[in-house]
Chain A
Amino acid sequence: MSLLLRRRFFWEEIDLMSLLDILLLVAALLASGLFVLGRGSFAGWLATVVYGLMLAVLAIAGLALDSGVAFIPSAMSFEILGRNLGWRLDGLGWFFALLTVGAAFFASWYGSGEWGRKQKRMGLQHALLALNVLAMLLLLSSGDLLSLFIGWELVSWAAFAIMTQGGGPAVAAAYRYMIYALAGAMAVFAAIMLVQNVTGGLGFADLQTAISAMSTAQVWVLFILFAAGFGVKMALMPFHLWQAPAYSETPGASSAFLNAVSARMGLFALILVLVKLTGLEALGSLAIPFTFMSAKSALMWVAAITMVVPTFIALMQTDARMLLTWHGIGQGGYMLLGVLVGTSLGTAGGLMHVFNYATYQAALFLAVTAVIHRAGTSDLDELGGLITRMPWTYVTLLMGIIGLAGLPPMNGFVSKWMIYKSLLDGGQPLLLIMAFAATLGTILSVYKLIHNIFLGQLRREHQHLKEAPVSMVLPMLILAGIGFVTGFMPGLALNITDIAQRAIGGDMLPHHLGGVTLATGSLNMLWVVGVLIGAIGAGALIFYLLGNRRYEVHQFDNYAGGHFLSADIRYHFSHEFYPGLARVIGPWYRGSIVRAEQGIGILVNVAGDLWQAVFRVAYTPLYMLLVVVLGLVFTGSWGIVP
C-alpha cells in the first residue's frame, strides 16, 4: 500500500468527516425506508444495492485508514447533560463494519429472490436486517464508553427483533437471548459506571486513567464485568447457552447474517476494551492470587474451553442449524485466543479468523437454508443423498466445511495455522493441544453434516427435488469462492486485518500474498494450494488415463451383505453417526450440558414469562427508547451529583 502514499487520490479531496456520516445516514435511511417500502418485491434488491454502495464507501474509508488516517470522525455528536457523545470509525471498527455490511449484502441478496417470496413477512425481515446493520455500525463507530453502551443496547434489541421473526420456538429462544443480553448489558453498564465514578468521565481515555488509578480489586471487578458483559454476546463459555437456539431458529438469510457477524460484536467490544484500551500487559499483570495465572491467561483458558466444549456439543447435534451455531460458538474461542496471545501473529490470526469465519459460516448457513427451502427440513436424520439433486449447494457446503474444519486449501486453515503457530511460539502447548483437539472434533462434526445431508441414500420423497434457484446459489457460491481465494492468497485478507491491527496497536505482522515467513516455520499458501491442486490434477490424470472407462451405477446397486436394496428400505447410516464416541463423551454430555441447559431453560422461562407480562413484542421500539433515555438520565445525573 506504499503506492498510496505517493499520490493524492480523490478521497483525500473530499471531506473525510463525511464518509462515516454518509455510511450512517445511508444505513438509517435504508432501515427507515424499508420499514415503509418493505412489502414491495424490489425492496430486497434495493437493499442489496444499497449495501453494495455502503461496501464501496467502506472500501474508500479503508483506503483512507490504510494510508495512515487514525480514524474517520462523524459530524454527528451531541451533548447530553455535559457529556459529549461522539462517533468515529477507527480501523478496528472499520474491519468489523466491513464484515457486517458484507454479510448483510449477501444475506439480503439471498433473501431477495425465491427464498424471500416464500417467507411470511420478508419486508419486515429486510427492514430489521437494515436496522441491525445500522445498530452495528453505531456500535462499531462509537467514540466513547457511553456511545459504546448505547450501540451495545441497540445491537441487542435489533438482534432480538430479528430473532423473533421465526415465530414459535424462535420467540422463546429470542426471549432467552434477551435475558442474557440484558444481564450482560447491566454488567457493562455497571463497569462503565465504575469508570465514571473513578474518573468522572466517559471517554475511552478515561477508562485508561481509571485503570491506572484503581486498586487491584477494583480493576478485577472492572475486568470481570466487562469480560462477562461482552462475553455474553460472543457466547463465551459459561454464558453460551442462549446462542445456538436463538441463532438457528432465526429465518435462514437473517440467521446467516447473525451467525456471521452478530456474535463478533462481543469480540469487537472485548478487543476494544480489554486489548486496545486496557492492554494485554495490564491484563497479564493482573495476577490471580495463589495461582500461576493472570487475568489474561484465565481469559485465554476460558477461550480455549469455549473452543473445545461447544465443538463437541456440536458433534452431538441432530439438526444442521444447531450444529453450525454450536460451531460458531466454538470458533469464537479461536478468535479470542488468537487475539489474546497478543503477538502480531496471534492478533492477525485471530482477526483473520473473524473474516474467514464470516465467509464460510455465512456460506454454510445459506447452503443449509437452501436445503431447508427444497427438502423442508434440516434434521440430519431425515435427509441424505441430495448430492445428485443439489450439486451446487453441495459444493458450497463442501467448501464451507473445509473452511470450518480448517483444512487446506480454504481460508480457515490459514487463520487457524496462525493461531496454532502463535500459541506454539508463545509457549502455550496446552492451549495449542486444545485448539488441535477442537479442530479434530470439528472435522468429525462437519463430516457428519455433509454426509447426512448430501451423501448416502437418497430418500424416495427427495427424488424429484431440484437445485436451489440462482438467486440463492450464486451468493453462497461467491461467499465460498471468497473463502477459497483468501485461502489461496491469504495476503488479501491480511491486508484488511492489517488496518484493524494497526488500530489496536502493537507490532504489525509482515506478510506477503501467500502467507507469512517466520524464522520458526513459514506458510506459503500459494505453494501449498498450488501444489495441492496440481497434485489433484495428477491424481485425475492417473484416474482417467489408467484403467478402463468408468461406469456409473445407481444407488441400489450396492453391496449390503447380499441384501437386495430398494427404495422401500431406509439404510442411510445417519442417526447417532458416531456411536463409539457417543459412548465415551455421551454420558458427560447428557450429564452436564443437557442438564445445565434444562435448568437454565426453566429459569429463563420463568423470567421470560414475567417479562412477557410486562410488555409485548410489539412495544419493542418503545421499550428500547425508554431504556436508552433512562440510561442517559442515569449517567447524566450520576455525573452531576457524584
Chain B
Amino acid sequence: MMSYVADFIFMPLIAFVTGLGLVLMARRVRAKIERRVGPPVLQPIYDIVKLYAKKTQISHGIMHDLSIMMLLGGFITAEIFLPVPGFDGLAGEGDLITLIYIMMVPMLGLALGVGSCANPNGSIGISRALTAMLAYDIPFIIAVTGACMAYGTTNLIEIVQIQQAGGPASWGAATMPLLAFGGLLAVHGMMGKEPFEIYIAPAEIATGPMVEMSGKYMGALFIMQCFQLYTIGVIYTTLFLGGGENWPFFLAKVFAVVFISVAVTNVYGRFKTDTMIRWMWKWPTGIALAGLALVMAN
C-alpha cells in the first residue's frame, strides 16, 4: 500500500520536474539556434508561479474550471500508468492502449473548456488541434501496433523488460527502425512543434485553444506542457529505446527524444491543416506501415 502512495505522489512530481527541464531545454535550444542567450534556468517556474499569482482570475463558467481539473487529472493519471525506473506505478493494471486513451482525457477536457469560453478563435484552434490529432495519431497508432505485435504484449512493464533483457540490440529502434522512425515523426507532430503548430498560430488565431486562458488557467496549461513533453518522451523511450534501467540513462533518453524534435523544429515554417494531414498520412504513415509489414513478415 505504501508503495502505491509513493508512486502516486512521486511519479507525477518527477514528471513535473523533468517536464520543467524539458521545457527549459526546448526554449534554450530554440534560443541557441536563433543565436540568443535564452531564458534563465528558473524561467519555467517563474512563469507558472507568476500565472498562479495573478490577482484576477477570470473564468467562463464551471466547465472552464472543470476542464482545468480534467487536464491536470488526466495527465497525473497518465504519469502513474507509465513505468519509470524504480516505479512501476499502476502500469500492470492498465496497458499501453489504456495509457494512450487516458492521454486523450486531458485533451478532451481542454477542448471542452475552450469551447465553453465561447471564443471563436479558441474553437477554431480546437478544431485544428483535433484534426492535427487525427493526422499524427494514425502513424503513431501504427507504430504502437507494430511494436506491440513485435513484443507480443501491451503490458508496458514487459515491453521494457524484453528490451532490457536483450540490451541495446533488442531495443525497438534497432529491431524495427522503420516503425521507430515513423513513430518519431508522429511524436514530432504530437508535441505541436513547427511545422505542425497551426492550431496555435499566434498571429492568426491568437494561440487558438489558449486564447481565453489566463492566470491559473494558463498556469495549468504550462504545467500540462511539462507533463505532455515528459509523457511523450517516456512513451517513445519505453516503446523504442529500451525504457529506463536507471534514472540518468532514462532521463538522457527522454531528453534526447524531445531534443530531436525541438532541434529540427526551428527550420520549418507552418503547414496548413490539410497539408499536415496529407503529409502525416503519406510519409510517417507509409514508413510505419512498411515497418509493420516487416514486423508481420518476421
Does chain A touch chain B in the assembled complex, meaning CB atoms less than 8 Å apart? yes
Q: Which residues of A contact B (CB under 8 A)?
A: 385, 387-388, 398, 402, 405-408, 413, 417, 420-421, 424, 427, 429, 432-433, 436-437, 440-441, 443-444, 447, 450-451, 454-458, 519-524, 527-528, 531-540, 542-543, 546-553, 555, 557-561, 571-574, 577-581, 583-584
**B197 in the interface, Cβ–Cβ < 8 Å?**
no
Asked whether B131 lies within 8 Å of A520 as measured between CB atoms, the reply is no
With most chain A CB atoms within 10 A of its CB, the pick from B104, B127, B146, B206 is: B127
Among A413, A456, A520, A550, point to the contact of B123 (Cβ < 8 A). A456
Asked whether B80 lies within 8 Å of A535 as measured between CB atoms, the reply is yes
- B289: shortest Cβ distance to chain A, in Å? 9
18 extra interface residue pairs, beta carbon distance < 8 Å, beyond A444-B133, A523-B98: A408-B105, A429-B149, A437-B138, A440-B133, A447-B112, A458-B118, A520-B152, A527-B90, A527-B93, A528-B81, A535-B76, A539-B71, A547-B216, A550-B65, A558-B118, A578-B127, A579-B127, A580-B272
* Residues from chain A with Cβ under 8 Å of B131 in the complex: 444, 578, 580-581
- B82: shortest Cβ distance to chain A, in Å? 12
* Residues from chain A with Cβ under 8 Å of B142 in the complex: 433
* Residues from chain A with Cβ under 8 Å of B77 in the complex: 528, 531-532, 535
Q: Bound state CA distance, A532 and B146, in angstroms?
A: 28
Q: Bound state CA distance, A307 and B181, in angstroms?
A: 28
Q: Bound state CA distance, A533 and B116, in angstroms?
A: 22
| Interface hit among B50-58, B234-242, B262-270 | B50-58
A387-B63, A408-B98, A547-B219 given; A559·B118 CB < 8 A: no
| Interface hit among B19-27, B186-194, B273-281 | B273-281
10 closest residue pairs by CB, A with B: A580-B273, A455-B115, A536-B73, A539-B72, A521-B95, A521-B154, A547-B216, A539-B69, A573-B123, A535-B76
Q: Bound state CA distance, A519 and B95, in angstroms?
A: 11
**Beta-carbon nearest neighbor of A525 in chain B:** B94
Q: Bound state CA distance, A580 and B198, in angstroms?
A: 11
* Residues from chain B with Cβ under 8 Å of A535 in the complex: 12, 72-74, 76-77, 80
**B101 in the interface, Cβ–Cβ < 8 Å?**
yes
**B155 in the interface, Cβ–Cβ < 8 Å?**
yes
| B174-195 interface bits toward A, Cβ cutoff 8 Å, 1 = contact, 0 = none | 0000000000000000000000
Asked whether A388 lies within 8 Å of B61 as measured between CB atoms, the reply is yes
* Residues from chain B with Cβ under 8 Å of A436 in the complex: 137-138, 141, 145
A429-B292, A450-B115, A581-B131 given; A424·B149 CB < 8 A: yes
| Chain B: number of interface residues, binned into ranges | 35 or more
* Residues from chain A with Cβ under 8 Å of B138 in the complex: 433, 436-437, 440
**Beta-carbon nearest neighbor of B148 in chain A:** A424
Number of CB contacts from chain A to chain B under 8 A:
251
Q: Bound state CA distance, A230 and B128, in angstroms?
A: 39
* Residues from chain A with Cβ under 8 Å of B59 in the complex: 550-553
> Can you report 14 A-B residue pairs in the complex whose CB atoms are below 8 A from each other?
A407-B108, A413-B101, A429-B296, A436-B145, A450-B112, A457-B120, A527-B93, A532-B102, A543-B220, A551-B58, A552-B61, A553-B59, A559-B119, A584-B274
A520-B155, A531-B8, A548-B56 given; A417·B97 CB < 8 A: yes
Among B55, B68, B96, B155, point to the contact of A548 (Cβ < 8 A). B55
Among A407, A536, A547, point to the contact of B215 (Cβ < 8 A). A547
Asked whether B52 lies within 8 Å of A531 as measured between CB atoms, the reply is no
* Residues from chain B with Cβ under 8 Å of A578 in the complex: 127, 130-131
Q: Bound state CA distance, A540 and B68, in angstroms?
A: 8
Asked whether B76 lies within 8 Å of A550 as measured between CB atoms, the reply is no
* Residues from chain B with Cβ under 8 Å of A557 in the complex: 58
* Residues from chain B with Cβ under 8 Å of A387 in the complex: 61, 63, 116
**B121 in the interface, Cβ–Cβ < 8 Å?**
yes
Among B63, B105, B155, point to the contact of A522 (Cβ < 8 A). B155
Asked whether B97 lies within 8 Å of A581 as measured between CB atoms, the reply is no
* Residues from chain A with Cβ under 8 Å of B118 in the complex: 385, 455-458, 555, 558, 572
Asked whether B105 lies within 8 Å of A555 as measured between CB atoms, the reply is no
Q: Which residues of B (187-234) have their CB < 8 Å from a CB of A?
A: 206, 211-212, 215-216, 219-220
A408-B102, A580-B274 given; A532·B130 CB < 8 A: no
Asked whether B101 lies within 8 Å of A429 as measured between CB atoms, the reply is no
Q: Bound state CA distance, A577 and B104, in angstroms?
A: 20
Q: Bound state CA distance, A116 and B98, in angstroms?
A: 41
Among B8, B102, B117, B155, point to the contact of A521 (Cβ < 8 A). B155
* Residues from chain A with Cβ under 8 Å of B69 in the complex: 536-537, 539-540, 543
Among B76, B98, B134, B274, point to the contact of A528 (Cβ < 8 A). B98
**B38 in the interface, Cβ–Cβ < 8 Å?**
no
A402-B108, A521-B154 given; A531·B61 CB < 8 A: no
Asked whether A539 lies within 8 Å of B206 as measured between CB atoms, the reply is no
**Beta-carbon nearest neighbor of A315 in chain B:** B134
Asked whether B52 lies within 8 Å of A546 as measured between CB atoms, the reply is yes
